[in-house]
Amino acid sequence: MKINYSEKFIKKDGVLLIPVFEGETFKNFISFLDLAILKEHIADLTASKEFEAKNGQSIFLYKISKNLPDKIIVVGMGAKKKMSVATVMSGLGAGVKASIAHGTQSLSILFHDSLQEFSQSVSESIVLASYLPGIKYKTGEALEKLVGQSIQEVNVFGEFSAEQKSSFEKGAIIAAATNDVRDWVNAPPNYAHTSFFEARAKEIAKLPCVSLKILEKSKLEKMHMGAFLGVNKGSDVEAKMVVLEYSPKNPVNETPLVLVGKGILFDTGGVNLKPSGHIEDMQLDKAGAATVMATLRVLALIKYPRKVVAIAPFTDNSIGPKAMRPSEIVTAYTGKTIEVLNTDGEGRLILADAVAYGVDVYKPELLIDVATLTGACMIALGERHAGLFTNDEDLMEKLYKAGQDTDEILWRMPIHQDDADKMKGTIADFRNSDTGTSRLAGASKGASFIREFVGETPWAHLDIAGPAYVADPKKYESKGATGFGVRVITRFLEDLV
């Protein structure tokens, strides 16, 4: 998507999107617009209660002036006094979606004074709301229709400071990476396999200051990653661990930060097979790995001043003659043994080896893992919140704030010692699922299991099972993958420096 900036309105084709706040007088709008007739239309609509500028409410105007495009969308932004990242993105997201519905490859948007504080959010909402999930897989007339609605050019006109333009461009980078995650997570397993992600990692590694290691199955065996490889036993595709390192010149701190993401390409549940109604969307289980890879791309593009490592273990959790069975015992990278009581508790197994590797090799200042780990967290928090578990209160507060600042909301969740005790093994060191009370505090138990493999390193676990893949999207999202995590982690990391 190409984004153009101008102080003057120069585009007459496509759709013109005009954000309007409740009680808007237009006195601050740019004078070269033919606003008299526009004011008249909106005044009539407001008087009739057809348009009240409520957040996300939109009105389509057609051929009201020869000096304006034929197609105009007026979108409500709600009350100025209640403006926030969430309301700005919701309002503009609705406006962009309405523009797409009217068929345009060119979108112009008025960037007026009220939005200048939210430059980055304006940009993010435009790029995120422009995402069309079906365009990669549709054919024939359906594809032609989507191509006709695919926004190729955005023209932003208004008064920009250099700082605002920089924020706008950063928002476009972050949102584009978020859309990459949406593509990767929506992609079915016959498209997005280990080779697919290896290719994506190689693309990222072409960026300045980025290097790549691919740990193949033979290397993982030598490293004794038995928990990770146990999950891979039933798969025809060999496990791989993607390790991307971003090392800027003259970093402000030599100690790295590590991100780890769960990369289950498709989760059948293994021998503990998932039932119908739960298995159909299990390509979503790679969202954590996709998120950390895309976040590292963002950090390289915005020239983040600290070293960051993204670790993404990839495998299927499949059924086959060699598949891991309940009651098996595996030995993790740390040398600890784990009783596998439920093969559908596979995410915590691959993360156990991945986080332990990250701690052992990189000695990080902190480690964050991101995973669609538990249905229990989704039941507890729904689709709007991700669960936030940590062993460090300062890390908890900073991540929580970053979530509030980005509308990717993290909710503080507990790890009670009773829950941690239930993950201790009977004949091995640990077990990946408890018995008797397995339906209680499932998200906390999963987090407590991962915590055992990070030692004393400050650590946070983001259980994104709810917001990573949704049936009830926000106005700037679509059904399916949301790319949740890129924006909040980027903000958190920026706040560290």
Q: What are the C-alpha distances in Å from 379 to residues 272, 374, 444, 452?
A: 20, 9, 13, 24
> Long-range contact list for 28-34, CB < 8 A, 24+ apart?
28/112, 28/113, 28/114, 29/110, 29/112, 30/110, 30/112, 30/157, 30/158, 30/159, 32/8, 33/9, 33/67, 33/68, 33/110, 34/65, 34/67, 34/68
Distance CA 314, CA 185 (A): 13
CB 172 within 8 A of CB 4: no
> First CA to last CA across the chain, in angstroms?
30
Question: Which helix (DSSP H) or strand (DSSP E) does residue 132 occupy?
Answer: none
CB 107 within 8 A of CB 19: no
Distance CA 244, CA 176 (A): 19
> Strands 71-76, 15-20: parallel, antiparallel or unpaired by DSSP?
parallel
Catalytic machinery residues: 274, 348
- Rounded to 10 degrees, the C-alpha dihedral 277/281/282/285 comes to -130
DSSP string, 443-478: HHHHHHHHHTTTTTS-EEEEE-TTTTEESS--TT--
> Long-range contact list for 360-364, CB < 8 A, 24+ apart?
360/333, 362/256, 362/258, 362/309, 363/255, 363/256, 364/255, 364/256, 364/257, 364/258, 364/309, 364/457
Return the half-sphere exposure (C-beta side, CA atoms, 13 A cut-off) of residue 350: 35
Angle between helices 162-186 and 194-204 (to 10 degrees): 160
